[in-house]
């Protein structure tokens, strides 16, 4: 039986975290390819350290994008807010090592004759949804993201006390659950880079606490809530100057904060033929629609693929005892409701568009769908289809 009373913790990191800088650059390069050719193939990795960014990976698309990589890198770094001595948008060194896609990979993925377009890799992907927030996301990761998004907006404002904060931040939220419902924050951890070396941890807390309090439900912050703001003290050297960054190293932050399984594949820098990304989006889409349709209060969905093979090898659903019908029946109706081949996923969710840079920070899930097709996997437009199938 699922536990009803417990503590659970998730963390988020800001757009200025070294790994997230790399995710942003990789996805910006992906978007640049898709903007010129919607069927470009991209697997772009980024590494960042003190005043240096290295971009590598395999691509198939317009050569003009490869020529513009340096400018894309500088634009991303500048927009995030890095103009510090050890990592400056104008002076950092950019190394571009992108190369043509492997012919061996291409032959497995490309459609040809009677062969359907195959999956870009083997692997397992998970989707998850739970009714503890309106967005059908686990509350600890959802609110950790929200805290950092609001702090980023305050940092980038024209004026205000938060403008003295730097781009590199981490938030961690521990929630106490009663009868399966989050009721209280037992601890709030926030580490934020600051541009004034004289600021103490208490000074930073006075800046961030009002923003955190307005983000969380009122009843969650009590006299017993433990606050840990910049617990190590001074945090002036941040970003890749303080710690190296790498694409794809924050996969739990990107998904469900540890509340659900993860297949292990990262998202950023990968075009939608890579099922690590597109099938994880499809799995979230289906799980969210299952919960939105009232078929369960909580749903975990797993898909499995083999490289070069179009159809998923398996689909598995666990509603953790909350389902209104048998899990096996839900598996059958979701399989019928959506074509889960790589082509089917791309077309159903409209993924061959430059919509990925915006996903690089503050989570790939639990975001509102955009009018241009961004976050299409957050739609709940399958609800009536699933209900009708029952």
Give me the active site residues, please. 17, 19-20, 45, 58, 170, 235, 243-244, 249-250, 270, 274, 276
**206 marked among binding-site residues:** no
**270 marked among binding-site residues:** yes
**170 marked among binding-site residues:** yes
**243 marked among binding-site residues:** yes
**329 marked among binding-site residues:** no
**193 marked among binding-site residues:** no
Cα(279)–Cα(261) distance, integer angstroms: 14
**338 marked among binding-site residues:** no
Q: According to the 3-state scheme, what is the secondary structure of the chain?
A: CCCCCEEEEEEEECCCCHHHHHHHHHHHHHHHHHHHCCCCEEEEEEEEECCEEEEEEEEECCHHHHHCHHHHHHHHHHHHCCEECCEECCCCEEEEEEEECCHHHHHHHCCECCECCCECCCEEEEEEEECCCCCCCCHHHHHHHHHHHHHHHHHCCCCCHHHHEEEEEEEEEEEEEECCEEEEEEEEEEEEEECCCCCCHHHHHHHHHHHHHHHCCHHHCCCCCEEEECCCCCCCCCHHHCCCEECCCCHHHHCCCCCCCCCCCCCCCECCCCHHHHHHHHHHHHHHHHHHCCCCCEEEEEEEECECCCCCCEEEEECCCCCCCCHHHHHHHHHHHCCCCHHHHHHHHCCCCCCCHHHCCCCCCCCCCCCCCCCHHHCCCCHHHHHHHC
**Angle CA(4)–CA(6)–CA(8) in degrees, nearest 5?**
120
> What does the CA dihedral 81, 199, 362, 368 come to, rounded to 10 degrees?
-90
Cα(42)–Cα(336) distance, integer angstroms: 30
**158 marked among binding-site residues:** no
**58 marked among binding-site residues:** yes
**297 marked among binding-site residues:** no
Cα(33)–Cα(30) distance, integer angstroms: 5
**116 marked among binding-site residues:** no
**168 marked among binding-site residues:** yes
Q: Are 310 and 117 in contact (CB under 8 A)?
A: yes
**241 marked among binding-site residues:** no
**17 marked among binding-site residues:** yes
Annotated binding site: 17, 19, 45, 58, 101, 168-170, 234-235, 243, 249-250, 266, 270, 274
Binding residues for K(+): 45
Annotated binding-site members for Mg(2+): 19
Which residue ranges make up the annotated binding site for L-methionine? 58, 101, 243, 274
Binding residues for ATP: 17, 168-170, 234-235, 243, 249-250, 266, 270
């Amino acid at each position: 039986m699922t536990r009803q009373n417990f503590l659970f913790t998730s963390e988020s990191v800001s757009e200025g975290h070294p790994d997230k800088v790399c995710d942003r650059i990789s996805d910006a390069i992906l978007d640049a390819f898709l903007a010129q050719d919607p069927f470009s193939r991209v697997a772009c990795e980024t590494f960042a350290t003190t005043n240096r960014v290295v971009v590598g990976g395999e691509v198939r698309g317009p050569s003009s994008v490869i020529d513009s990589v340096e400018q894309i890198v500088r634009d991303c770094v500048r927009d995030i807010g890095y103009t510090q001595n050890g990592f400056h948008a104008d002076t950092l060194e950019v190394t571009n090592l992108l190369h043509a896609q492997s012919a061996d990979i291409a032959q497995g993925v490309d459609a040809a004759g009677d062969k359907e377009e195959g999956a870009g890799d083997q692997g397992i992907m998970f989707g998850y949804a739970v009714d503890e927030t309106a967005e059908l996301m686990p509350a600890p990761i959802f609110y950790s993201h929200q805290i950092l998004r609001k702090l980023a907006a305050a940092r980038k404002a024209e004026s205000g006390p938060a403008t003295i904060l730097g781009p590199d931040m981490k938030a961690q939220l521990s929630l106490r659950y009663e009868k399966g419902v989050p009721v209280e924050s037992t601890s709030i951890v926030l580490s934020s880079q600051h541009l004034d070396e004289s600021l103490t941890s208490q000074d930073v807390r006075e800046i961030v606490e009002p923003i955190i309090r307005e983000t969380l439900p009122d009843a969650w912050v009590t006299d017993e809530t433990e606050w840990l703001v910049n617990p190590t003290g001074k945090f002036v050297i941040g970003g890749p100057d303080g710690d190296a960054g790498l694409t794809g190293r924050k996969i739990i932050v990107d998904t469900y904060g540890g509340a659900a399984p993860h297949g292990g594949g990262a998202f950023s820098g990968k075009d939608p033929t890579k099922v690590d990304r597109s099938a994880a989006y499809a799995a979230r889409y289906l799980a969210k629609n299952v919960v939105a349709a009232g078929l369960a209060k909580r749903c975990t969905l797993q898909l499995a693929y083999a490289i070069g093979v179009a159809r998923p090898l398996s689909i598995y659903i666990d509603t953790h005892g909350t389902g209104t019908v048998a899990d096996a029946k839900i598996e059958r109706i979701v399989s019928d409701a959506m074509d889960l081949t790589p082509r089917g996923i791309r077309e159903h969710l409209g993924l061959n568009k430059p919509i990925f840079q915006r996903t690089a920070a503050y989570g790939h899930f639990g975001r509102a769908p955009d009018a241009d097709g961004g976050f299409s996997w957050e739609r709940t437009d399958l609800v009536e289809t699933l209900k009708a199938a029952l």
